[in-house]
Amino acid sequence: MKITIVGTGYVGLVTGACLAEIGNDVFCVDVDPRKIEILNNGDVPIHEPGLQEMLNRTRTAGRIQFSTDVKASVEHGDIQFIAVGTPPDEDGSADLQYVLAAACNIGRYSNGFKVIVDKSTVPVGTARQVRRVVEEELKARGLAESDEHRFSVVSNPEFLKEGAAVDDFMRPDRIVIGIDDDEDGNRAREKMKRLYTPFNRNHERTLYMDVRSAEFTKYAANAMLATRISFMNDLSNLADSVGADIEAVRRGIGSDPRIGYHFLYAGCGYGGSCFPKDVQALVQTARENGKRLRILEAVEEVNHDQKNVLVNKIVERMGEDLRGRTFAIWGLAFKPQTDDMREASSRRIVAELLARGADVRAYDPVAMQEAERVFALDLAERPEDMKRLHLVGTQHEALRGANALVIVTEWKEFKSPDCGYLKSALKLPVIFDGRNLYEPESMAEMGIDYYAIGRPHVELDSHGDRIV
């Protein structure tokens, strides 16, 4: 099938590569010539495991192309995926300007029946706006009543986890398709069914529903996951106060099959491109409709405060004035297996440490280039602070001369550290762990002063017995 992907960001690239992998003829278009140049040179502008190799295969086979030619892209695809960004507006609602610009181009250059697929995460009612924009463009061309230029707008939200997106797309747990129940919708349904048939070989994964319900489903899914994270983070702070171990609590409640273990890990707050903006957008949608989503308002508040928890622990241990202190940071991306720094907890933590006069030596396995760009923007008006931020090449280099280690992202290579080297490299054997990677008792036995999230701080006496 001939497929067009509008937007070569995270969702667009993964969608295009995976659809080309199963034999489709894919045309990826973007208005950013820099991105297209990178892709045409054989590189990938984002870090996602398996994506580079898949693009190499499909590019060599001639099943995927990259261009800034909007007219050619519309003429190419019978199915037009809109996979552009929907950043938060000032009031927290989703900014649809790029989605509607893509719709405008489709109407302007349409050369036959088109299935227009909203792949971007968009609020309820967006499909109606896309339809209106396309209709206006066709009307301007005198084609509003043309049977040849009819179209259908479909909602097909993505459920991709950064760091596992290729596998998620190729082995989906569900495929949600929102479609109109009319003649054009029936034509679109047949095309979408054919497109996704390879993913339904073993059992049917496709869930058909009305368009508005499909748009709502994406936001509801992300809001639920964000709620679980903030719930555990809120409990972890209470665990700190009452002396409970949030890890034991997690195992205790996660063993209940009605609850499960997924997204029940306490930490220093969620980030990324999805959860923060999608929770905000859903809260704003409720306000626009005269409702309040009180649970999600609390989810936002908890997550905002959670990004300060590690800094609060550092201040409690070392004092408010951190001048003359150096902190090693392990992990900058918002999660492992990605270089995404959007809403990353590290940004708040680093900024707070620098504001208190500390020096910071930071390392991340893949996000260093993106971190350099992001911190240059974050600290543009604080040049003196920027001078005290050092992005280094290895995790061991980050430790040298530091007063303490702060763990922000749970990369696998941080899970089994050389504690002997760690103690020798640090001026003080102190760890502030925002992801609960280690066991407090084991750290105490090795002579490391260990502070985690919602886990007891363990001290041993001279005989190795725990001090209560």
Binding-site annotation: residue ranges:
30, 35, 86, 121, 159-162, 218, 263-267, 271, 277, 335, 342
Which residue type is seen at 89? Answer: D
Angle between helices 368-378 and 345-355 (to 10 degrees): 50
Q: Which residue from 461, 437, 463 is spatially nearest to 450, judged by alpha carbons?
A: 437
DSSP line for 134-156: HHHHHHHTT-TT-GGG-EEEEE-
Task: Give the helix/strand (H/E) hosting 451.
Answer: strand 449-451
Q: Which of 28, 104, 274, 419 is catalytic?
A: 274
Residue 274 annotated among the catalytic residues of the structure: yes
Contact 205, 192 (CB under 8 A): no
Reduce the DSSP state of residue 363 to 3 states and report it.
strand
Distances (CA, A) of 171 to 53, 193, 236, 335: 17, 16, 34, 21
Contact call for residues 137 and 70 (beta carbons, < 8 A): no
The phi, psi pair for 361, rounded to 5°, reads -115, 110
**Integer Cα distance of 316 and 325 in angstroms:** 14
Q: Whole-angstrom Cα distance, residue 377 to residue 371? A: 10
Interatomic CA distance for residues 134 and 150, integer angstroms: 10
The residue count for the chain? 468
Are 107 and 150 a contacting pair, CB within 8 Å?
no
Rounded CA separation 153/188 (Å) = 8
Residues of each annotated binding site for substrate: 159-162, 218, 263-267, 271, 335
Residue 164 burial by Cβ neighbours in a 10 Å radius (0-12, 13-18, 19+) = middle
Name the residue among 77, 85, 87, 106 with its Cα closest to residue 12: 85
User: Distance between CA atoms of 46 and 50, rounded to whole angstroms?
Assistant: 11
Integer Rg of the chain from CA: 25
The pair of three-digit structure tokens given for residue 149, joined into one six-digit string: 């230029």
Burial class (CB in 10 A: 0-12, 13-18, 19+), 90: exposed
Active site residues per annotation: 274
